[in-house]
A and B are shown apart, each in its own frame.
Chain A
Amino acid sequence: MPAVERGVVGALGVFLLTAGLRGGSAWQRLVLGGLGAGLTAVAVTGSSPVATAFKVRQNEDGDVLVGDAVTVGKPADELYAIWRDFAGLPRLMKHLKRVEVLDERRSRWTVQAPAGYAGGEVSWEAEMTADQPGRRIAWRSLPGAAVENSGEVLFRPAPGDRGTEVIVRLTYRPPGGSVGALVARIAGQEPSQQLRDDLMRFKREQELGFHPTTQGQSSGRAGSSGQNAGRGGQA
């Protein structure tokens, strides 16, 4: 649990504990005091119950770990080549707006910022830390990134001629620690959900060449966007 998060949780805990001890009904004192004591204990021990209860994976430094995998019916070399083309990554990873390749090792990544964030987008520079053709690509953000992060993608032949297992692991330090990660998840912007969607999109693009959809189909809901094609449907 990062120091900042520990501090915030600790302060909140002490505040509630004090409020609980000061008065109010027995129930209020019990609830406030209990909550305050709990949060204070969390801050003192430094392990976040939010992280474990909601399965936010964290390492000892408080970085959030996100990983997922998908099996794609294509050879590893082909899939590696697609990922190795960093400028093309925004097609695979929806949250990426663009990636500019600066030189052999460095690139500049830009993502859509969360709502309310000034400027509308966040950029940082990253460097490639490993490049093993057909097997693995790894990268990390360079100092000065708004959200420190690193990641790797592994390509592993699936047993039984089933194509390639693509494994992605990301590490990042969310603003607000594990609580921030949880809030982001509830808001639907959490990287693990994003990653699952991205990997399924990648698989479907590779296997089908298109993405299955029901967007725009007809229904009995207002705003159903199917056209009245005038096929003589009885009105």
Chain B
Amino acid sequence: MRAVLWQGTNHIGVETVPDPTLLLQSDVIVRVTSTAICGSDLHLLDGYIPSMEKGDILGHEFMGEIVEVGRDVSKVKVGDRVIMPFNLACGVCEPCQRGLFSACDNSNPNHRMAEALYGATSASGLFGYSHLFGGYAGGQAQFVRVPFADVSCFPIQSDLRDDQVLFLTDIFPTGYQAAENCGIQPGRDVVAVFGAGPVGQFAARSAQMLGAAHVIVIDRVPERLALAEAAGMQTINYEREDVLVALHEATGGRGPDHTIDAVGLEAHGHGPGALLDTAEQKLRLSFDRITALRWAILSCAKGGTVSMPGVYGGLVDKLPLGSAFGKGLTLKMGQTHTHRYVRPLLSRIEGGEIDPSFVITHRAPLSQAPDLYKTFRDKKDGCIKVVLDPWA
């Protein structure tokens, strides 16, 4: 089959590799019909997530049709059209029972590697996202092996297009959880979203769905800001205005009640803090560039929430913890417990509340993945979201 491979920092390839096979009887094989490039894949492209190996198959946003099932699979069958959360969960351990699927105890076979970097307990497995997170082959390919199939596969019965349900695998639940984590008081709270990429777009729309009185979106890319404006949000271009001053004014001096950092570890930003971050990251003194997180903390109103769906990998420097402490902020973060949100958000899509395909700007065959990774990263050609067809 054809698959998108990580061949080193800044080097993505598309090659023919062996078809996947069932490795355990709880697995299924899915013929992938649509697969997307996620903003977090760009951290792999840029080499900021440790433990990638040359030849790893990328991709954690994909859907398709089941073509083979293991003996122990009981809830799905050959022919089912399914979507799979990007993270893997066993469904039986205590965190899974509590709905904390991304904290699954059992899905990461490389638990020891994760424990060495992240401390006492291991992170869950992820599709196509480094060996630290299990080393599972991803779904930017014609076929993919899906472990824990009874827990992982969510059948889609309605006649919605792939485009409309594909993002239930990651970015829609990720944006939604970020908004939910804010504990928005409907009709009262103002929410600021840093980063108008796909996750930021979904976080902002989710904040609206959860009743935010006002949503402000911060970015520097005009077409991304325009997409947010089209949905009735206020926007701030941080290259034209001082973000902190603009947010101060937009909220009558209170600051947004909640701020969402939908940027993560490769924040651009400007000013001395951003320069220092870049220097430290280049020198490997710090993993993460945190301009967006700094703004999110500094701008947030007293008693508010800083919600962090953006990915962080390691250690950060110059985190304004004193500000967070002084204002009594709540920080919420982490991988999305995607499994929790698939069905409720699918109902919202079916009910016409939202059509997630609004973020798609590029559709292409799998073979164009290497170019499109860079187009997406460099925000060229108006690129906001890329969907690949593995069979085109």
Residues of A within 8 A of B (CB): 71, 73, 162-163, 193, 196-197, 200, 203-204, 207-208, 210-221, 224-231, 233-235
Contact = CB atoms under 8 A, between A and B. Distances in A.
B112 interface: yes
Given A212-B24, A218-B17, 5 more contacts: A73-B92, A73-B93, A207-B92, A219-B17, A220-B7
B17 A214 contact: no
A217 B23 contact: yes
Contacts of A215: 23
A215 to B, nearest CB: 7
A224 B1 CA distance: 13
Interface residues of B, number: 48
Nearest to B148: A212
Nearest to B91: A208
B384 to A, nearest CB: 28
Given A229-B21, A234-B2, A214 B135 contact: yes
12 contacts: A208-B92, A211-B109, A212-B90, A218-B20, A218-B137, A219-B5, A220-B13, A227-B18, A228-B19, A231-B31, A231-B142, A234-B1
Given A212-B125, A220-B13, A233-B1, A207 B90 contact: yes
Interface of B: 1-3, 5, 7, 13, 15-21, 23-26, 31, 53-57, 67, 88, 90, 92-94, 105-109, 111-112, 115, 125, 134-137, 142-143, 145, 147-148, 391
Contact of B20 (A162, A212, A226): A226
Nearest to A162: B94
A219 B57 contact: yes
Contact of B53 (A193, A221, A225, A229): A221
A212 to B, nearest CB: 5
Do most interface residues of chain B lie in helix, strand or loop, or is the interface mixed? loop
Contacts of A197: 112
Contacts of B148: 212
Contacts of B23: 213-217
A208 B94 contact: no
B43 to A, nearest CB: 20
Contacts of B391: 234
B92 A219 contact: no
Nearest to A210: B24
Contacts of B106: 203-204, 207-208, 212
A208 B90 contact: yes
A208 B26 CA distance: 10
A197 B92 CA distance: 20
A163 B105 CA distance: 14
A62 to B, nearest CB: 27
B65 to A, nearest CB: 12
B93 A207 contact: yes
B17 A226 contact: yes
**Which of A196, A200, A217, A231 neighbours the largest number of chain B CB atoms within 10 Å of its CB?**
A217
